[in-house]
Amino acid sequence: MSDANIGKEDYMHSQFKYWKPYVSPFDPCKPILVKSYSTPPQLYMNFQPIGLAQFQSPIQALKHGTLWPQLYSPYPDPHKGVKPK
């Protein structure tokens, strides 16, 4: 797996889910139109498979905060509640 694709939401499951909460015409503060919550990769992995592929180099692993590309999650939401196109 190339480094550029790690954490991209187009592989496997999306890392964040988005929903549009009700917005009242009388909201006192500027409304947040889209809210998000985290659905990290381990949520879809019942048990860590034996021999799960690791990053190529220690530097790469250190940069992502995990040994396994499949368990990398770009926390917090890089889109800050704005749904990516």
Partner 1 sequence: MYYYEKKLQYPVRVSTCNPMLAKFLIEQYGGADGELAAALRYMNQRYTIPDKVIGVLNDIATEEFSHLEMIATMVYKLTKDASPEQMKAAGLGDHYANHDRALFYHDASGVPWTAAYIQAKGDPIADLYEDIAAEEKARATYQWLIDMSDDPDLNDALKFLREREIVHSLRFREAVEIIKDDRNTKKIFKLG
Q: What does the binding site for partner 1 look like in residue numbers (CB under 8 A)?
A: 21, 24, 26-32
Name the minimum Å distance from CB 35 to partner 1.
9
Query: Facing residues of 36 across strands?
Result: 18
Contact 72, 15 (CB under 8 A): no
- Pick between residue 21 and residue 51 the one whose CB is nearest to partner 1: 21
Which secondary-structure segment (H or E) carries 37? strand 35-38
Q: How many CA atoms lie within 13 A of 62 on its CB side?
A: 3
Name the minimum Å distance from CB 32 to partner 1.
5
- Pick between residue 6 and residue 40 the one whose CB is nearest to partner 1: 40
- Pick between residue 58 and residue 81 the one whose CB is nearest to partner 1: 81
